[in-house]
C-alpha cells in the first residue's frame, strides 16, 4: 500500500499563487512599516497588520481573498504615500 507524502489539504496552483501573493504583500507591509519614524506608530501599525492578516488567515473564498488583497494593497500604497510626504 502506497502512502502519499502530500498533506491532506494540498493547495491547487491558483491557491498556491494567491498564497504567495499574500505572503509577499505581508512582507512588503512590514518592510514599509519599518520606515515609520515614530516608535509608537510603528508598533501600532505592525500590530494592526499582523492582526489583520492573522484574522483572515483561514479565508478560502477566492473572491473574498482577492478583495482583501486589493484592500491591503490600497493600505500599503497609502502608507507609502504618507511616508513619502513625510520625507521618509
Position 3 pLDDT exceeds 80: no
Q: Which residues contact 31 (CB under 8 A, 6 or more apart)?
A: none
pLDDT digits (tens, 9 = 90+) for 36-83: 999 999 999 999 999 999 999 888 888 999 999 999 999 999 999 999
**Degrees, nearest 5: CA angle 72-41-83:** 65
Residue recorded with cell 498533506: 7
Residue 60 near residue 19 (C-beta atoms within 8 A) = no
pTM, to two decimals: 0.81
Confidence (pLDDT) at 60? 84
Q: How far apart are CA 14 and CA 60, in angstroms?
A: 12
C-alpha–C-alpha distance, residues 57 and 30, integer Å: 17
Q: What distance, in Å, lies between the first and last C-alpha atoms of the chain? A: 60
What's the grid cell of residue 29?
A: 507591509
Amino acid at each position: 500500500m502506497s502512502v502519499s507524502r502530500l498533506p491532506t489539504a494540498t493547495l491547487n496552483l491558483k491557491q498556491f499563487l494567491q498564497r504567495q501573493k499574500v505572503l509577499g504583500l505581508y512582507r512588503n507591509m512590514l518592510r514599509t512599516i519599518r520606515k515609520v519614524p515614530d516608535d509608537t506608530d510603528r508598533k501600532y501599525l505592525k500590530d494592526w497588520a499582523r492582526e489583520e492578516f492573522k484574522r483572515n488567515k483561514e479565508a478560502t473564498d477566492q473572491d473574498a481573498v482577492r478583495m482583501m488583497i486589493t484592500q491591503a494593497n490600497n493600505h500599503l500604497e497609502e502608507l507609502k504615500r504618507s511616508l513619502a510626504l513625510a520625507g521618509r
